[in-house]
Chains A and B, each alone.
Chain A
Amino acid sequence: DTEVTQTPKHLVMGMTNKKSLKCEQHMGHRAMYWYKQKAKKPPELMFVYSYEKLSINESVPSRFSPECPNSSLLNLHLHALQPEDSALYLCASSLGILPGGYTFGSGTRLTVV
């Protein structure tokens, strides 16, 4: 298995809803990432988990809450989002210090209404 699987592919939520994005990989990668990407812009790093511990939080608002229950699974819990949070959310994983080990999922297209 050489994939990063993200679910759901599309999500529409209201500003008062609570939802979660899921990311899964079975490649033995020990670093996992959440990126946010606006249309025609580069991905922006949100969080990094290394060996299931949060290593980087790029000053992301608390309405985004990451969770890494085990080495294969990464969640992003969403609550009280704003319309400007609408974007493509990409998950990635990597082997760590080895170069080129990044594998990206195909993303979740989130729309906040």
Chain B
Amino acid sequence: AQTVTQSQPEMSVQEAETVTLSCTYDTSESDYYLFWYKQPPSRQMILVIRQEAYKQQNATENRFSVNFQKAAKSFSLKISDSQLGDAAMYFCAYRNAGGTSYGKLTFGQGTILTVHP
């Protein structure tokens, strides 16, 4: 079974600064997908960024980027130029590729990010 570990229950950052959230995972599969989701107090889970395991290039979405280290099974999220609206619970998630027409997401325990003005 796959597991996802987020070792930082809480993190804080000053507005306009950079913060990195950590995530490690364990799997015996070679092909899979990794995600970072954001869940603000409004409760909706919002996809921040995704990474396909077969791609060596790290994914980037505007101020959000990942450091994907496949051999180390590490998938950290870097948020640059942090904004007050970035404050939320962040979940790292894993999904096997292929096999079925649906995907089961395995989530980490989450990291609460606080942004200070």
Determine how close the nearest CB of chain A comes to the CB of B37; give it in whole angstroms.
8
Task: Give the docked Cα–Cα distance between A97 and B52 (Å).
Answer: 12
Closest-CB distance, A61 to chain B (whole angstroms): 20
Task: Establish whether residues A96 and B102, one from each chain, have CB atoms under 8 Å apart when the complex forms.
Answer: yes
Residue of B nearest to A49 (CB): B102
Interface pick from B22-30, B42-50, B69-77? B42-50
Q: How many residues of B contact A (CB 8 A)?
A: 28
Number of A-B residue pairs, CB cutoff 8 Å, is 72
- CB of B103 within 8 A of CB of A31, answer yes
Which chain B residues (64-101) contact chain A, with CB distance < 8 Å? 89, 91, 95, 97-101
Residues of B within 8 A of A42 (CB): 91, 107-110
B47 and A100 form a contact (CB under 8 A): yes
Q: What 1/0 mask marks residues of chain A from 93 to 108 whose CB sits below 8 Å from any chain B CB?
A: 0101101101111110
Beyond A97-B102, A102-B103, A107-B43: 8 further Cβ-contacts under 8 Å?
Answer: A31-B102, A40-B89, A42-B91, A48-B102, A55-B100, A94-B103, A99-B50, A104-B44
Residues of A at the B interface (CB closer than 8 Å) are 30-31, 33, 40-43, 45, 48, 50-51, 55-56, 88, 90, 92, 94, 96-97, 99-100, 102-107, 109
